[in-house]
Structure 1
Amino acid sequence: MTDDLKAAVGRYGIWNRQLRSEEPELREQIPEAAAELQELGFTTVWLGSGPGVEHAKPLLEATTRLAVATGILTIWQYPAAEVAERAAALEHAHPGRFLLGLGVGHPQFIEEYRSPYAAMVGYLDALDAAGQPAGRRVLAALGPRMLGLARDRAAGAHPYLVTTGHTARAREALGPDALLAPELGVVLESAPARARTMARAALAPYLKLSNYLANFRTFGFGDDDFADGGSDGLVDAVYAWGSDERIRERIDAYLAAGADHVAVQVITATPSVLPREEWRRLAALLD
């Protein structure tokens, strides 16, 4: 199953928040945008900002081979039995093309947040009881315990905002067979000051979240790196920017570190707009 999943997910995908938007103007654009992403050669779309299973449906209906994943569905927001039922309906309608990405979210945003590992184990137990296949889900795992759970109770992991060092360590924790599909932010800008400014605007909200800070500390970053939107070293470690050649090298560095797939999030100055021109440029440099 994992080999089939890896083939379906492919090497390069797109991570985006607006492709799960419920705003009428953006919703009208989603089917056409999904169809274009498929034609550009991207194999998977990861829906950001806590999507539900239902948000994958318009993209699956608009395409014929594109895989669509939740990146990630927060377990506190959606009952497991409901998730299993909706995932089964998508699997029936679009066999092998929906992937359920799950995560525990962040205590800063979730009032009922408690023991994340135990909560995820309980949620996976409920999914199992409802018949949702472990081979059709991945976990937003950062630390070793959650990575172990991704290996043992899911098809693999979809870590967000990580370095190549984390990717290498995640591969060791997952073993050779599990799917490893990290997200990577990409700024299609060569000027260092402008590229880092755009990256910092994207990074700053995450520097208030304890889960990410703890993970960064594991890889040698400290308080000085978290000030003023992030140090140059931190920005350059978790975002790719520069010439097309340099961006391609940075993306492929995650594959070299052990990733099977890279979910690319294009960072722009207008994040509320679908970056379709930037996706075209990205497709060309990844050709």
Structure 2
Amino acid sequence: MELSGVGVWSQQLRYGDAAEAAEAAAELEELGYRAMWVPDIGGPVFDAVGNLLAATRSAVVATGILNLWMHAPEDAAASFASLSAEHGDRFLMGIGVSHAPLVDAAEPGRYRRPLAAMSAFLDGLDAAGRPVPRDSRVLAALGPRMLETAAKRARGAHPYLVPPEHTRIAREAVGAGPLVLPEQTVILCSTRDEAREIGTDWLRSYLSLPNYAGNLLRLGLTQEDVDTVSDRLFDALIAWGDEEAIRRRVDEHRAAGADHVCVQVLTADGNAFPREEWRRLAPALT
């Protein structure tokens, strides 16, 4: 499984119409995107992965991330084995601990000891009748201890909602061998006002989650930056402007040590497939 170049991170490919998701996946592969990443908040995520694998020939399909609280490791391993047998070595299982407010919403107090929970989930994948190979899994990792776990027990790290500065820190933490596969949110637009109209509330929803807010504070942003969604914070996390501006941000991640960058395109309609934007970005990114 080769993980290089640029991919697409898309909630539409997971939660949008399955037929359009398949059609879009085939086009993304033709456009030169090397991987497609989909989120998970429970439910039939492996059906969505299978849909994308069936629609493509060589692209990697990855979970970004599989929420470990919402799947049994033996079931995840069985699904991985079935999809790999049918589609070859193209399914990358990204695994994460998610966030306490999301996990505890359905069952208060369930989210606890996330590092221990990750270790137990990986133990379950290793102990399954058909284990998930270490090189076919990556971990959502922001802080130093989870980055260390990603280097030791997976193929590398998939940091979400991070600037290039974090990519540099992640590379230093995991060393030369493991992969660093950051997500980068982007908005194709002409002005800051347009970018802000599309991205501010979206970003605010993530800043309410302590894992992301804490990571930004470690990077030197302030609580005021977080509370106000300052321009400094906005520009650090969202690349906005024309195709060249977005290409420069992807190049910054690469220069900082990223092996692969997956771009998440935001538009005014958060439910619509951003297919025109994917087409516009392809010549600059792929």
State the TM-score, normalizing by the size of structure 2.
Answer: 0.94
The answer to whether the 8 Å contact 1:68/1:98 transfers is: yes
The answer to whether the 8 Å contact 2:49/2:62 transfers is: yes
Partner of 2:27: 36
Question: How far does residue 10 in structure 1 lie from its aligned partner after superposition?
Answer: 2.2
Partner of 1:274: 273
Partner of 1:20: 14
2-structure distance, mates of 1:190, 1:249: 16
Partner of 2:115: 117
Q: Could you say if the C-alpha distance between residues 12 and 172 of structure 1 is closer, same or farther in structure 2, counting changes exceeding 3 Å? A: same
- Listed as ranges, the matches of 1:254-269 within 5 Å are 254-269=253-268
- The percent of aligned pairs where both chains have the same amino acid is 47
Match status 1:46 vs 2:37: yes
- Listed as ranges, the matches of 1:1-287 within 5 Å are 5=1, 8-21=2-15, 26-50=17-41, 52-111=45-104, 112-130=110-128, 131-228=131-228, 230-287=229-286
Matched residue type, 1:37: L
Matched residue type, 2:260: H
Partner of 2:107: none
The answer to whether the 8 Å contact 1:50/1:71 transfers is: no
Matched residue type, 2:48: H
2-structure distance, mates of 1:97, 1:265: 20
Unaligned runs of 5+ in 1: none
Question: How far does residue 48 in structure 1 lie from its aligned partner after superposition?
Answer: 1.8
The Cα offsets for residues 96-154 of structure 1, whole Å up to 9 and x where unpaired, read as 11000000010001121110000100110111001211110000000000000000000
SS state of the match for residue 108, structure 1?
helix
Moved more, 237-246 or 135-144: 237-246
2-structure distance, mates of 1:285, 1:134: 32
Matched residue type, 1:83: A
The answer to whether the 8 Å contact 2:40/2:67 transfers is: no
1-structure distance, mates of 2:84, 2:243: 37
Question: How far does residue 244 in structure 1 lie from its aligned partner after superposition?
Answer: 2.0
1-structure distance, mates of 2:259, 2:206: 25
SS state of the match for residue 76, structure 1?
helix
1-structure distance, mates of 2:93, 2:29: 19
Ranges of 4+ aligned residues in structure 1 off by more than 4 Å:
none
1-structure distance, mates of 2:231, 2:50: 39
1-structure distance, mates of 2:88, 2:165: 34
Matched residue type, 1:255: R
2-structure distance, mates of 1:172, 1:54: 36
Unaligned runs of 5+ in 2: 105-109
1-structure distance, mates of 2:223, 2:82: 46
The answer to whether the 8 Å contact 2:10/2:38 transfers is: yes
Question: How far does residue 197 in structure 1 lie from its aligned partner after superposition?
Answer: 2.7
The answer to whether the 8 Å contact 1:53/1:100 transfers is: no
Matched residue type, 1:118: A
Matched residue type, 2:181: A
Matched residue type, 1:170: A
The answer to whether the 8 Å contact 2:50/2:83 transfers is: yes
Matched residue type, 1:13: G
2-structure distance, mates of 1:80, 1:226: 35
Question: How far does residue 28 in structure 1 lie from its aligned partner after superposition?
Answer: 2.0
The answer to whether the 8 Å contact 2:40/2:63 transfers is: no
State the TM-score, normalizing by the size of structure 1.
Answer: 0.94
Matched residue type, 1:159: P
The Cα offsets for residues 71-96 of structure 1, whole Å up to 9 and x where unpaired, read as 00100000000000000111111111
